[in-house]
Amino acid sequence: MVPFFYFITKRTIKMKKHNIYLIHGYTASPDSNWFQNFKQSLENDFIEVSILEMPDSLAPKLNDWVSYMENHIKEIDENTIFIGHSLGCISILNFLNKFKTTKIKGLFLISGFVESSPIPELIEFLKPKLNYNHLKEITKTRVAISAIDDDIIPYQYSKTMAEKLDAKFTLLKKGKHFIDRDGFTKFPFLVKEISTLVNLNK
């Protein structure tokens, strides 16, 4: 009989390190909303979650944000997952749009928007023309998530984004803009989605 620990060891050896990069949104920080709980829920020996602290989130500039990502995201491969929240979504797309990379594992966009925004201060982020074919080609899994009651970025904006990217669109019954001022400090649905993608579910 083969010892049980053999199977554990064999599975462990096969598992590759997953790098998850989370990009927050307008006026936010790595300590906002559900971000730290998400990090704590997923990180282990095979998953590293990096929550970038984007520059001047109260008055964000497109070039500054993309440059910051270029300087702080060093490892991108087939086990890389990007997660964006609100402004973080279009920021990731602008970054990947100019980054000639190999395929990444996943792209999860929460309450995002492309091509139009209900927040005038963020219009600058919509100016670059996105190459949707390129973005689809380099991303194996694409998921957009919104809530019916989102009162900051109405879900129709996220639905349009999903259609442009041929992404799976998940519309939750509640959650608003998924921010802490509405009591949203945990995101178990997203944790489960990511866990499934990296084959951690039992």
- Cα separation of 197 and 193, whole Å? 6
Residues 6+ apart with CB under 8 A from 52: 21, 22, 23, 24, 30, 68, 69, 72, 73
* Edge-to-edge strand list for the sheet holding 47-52: 47-52, 18-23, 80-85, 104-110, 139-147, 168-172
- Cα separation of 159 and 184, whole Å? 21
Let me know: does 39 contact 100? Beta carbons within 8 Å. no
Residue 134 among the catalytic residues? no
- Provide the H-helix boundaries in 35-153: 35-42, 62-72, 87-98, 132-138
Which of 32, 86, 111, 146 is the catalytic position? Answer: 86
Residue 150 among the catalytic residues? yes
Residue 177 among the catalytic residues? yes
Let me know: does 70 contact 11? Beta carbons within 8 Å. no
- Cα separation of 47 and 87, whole Å? 24
Residues that are catalytic = 86, 150, 177
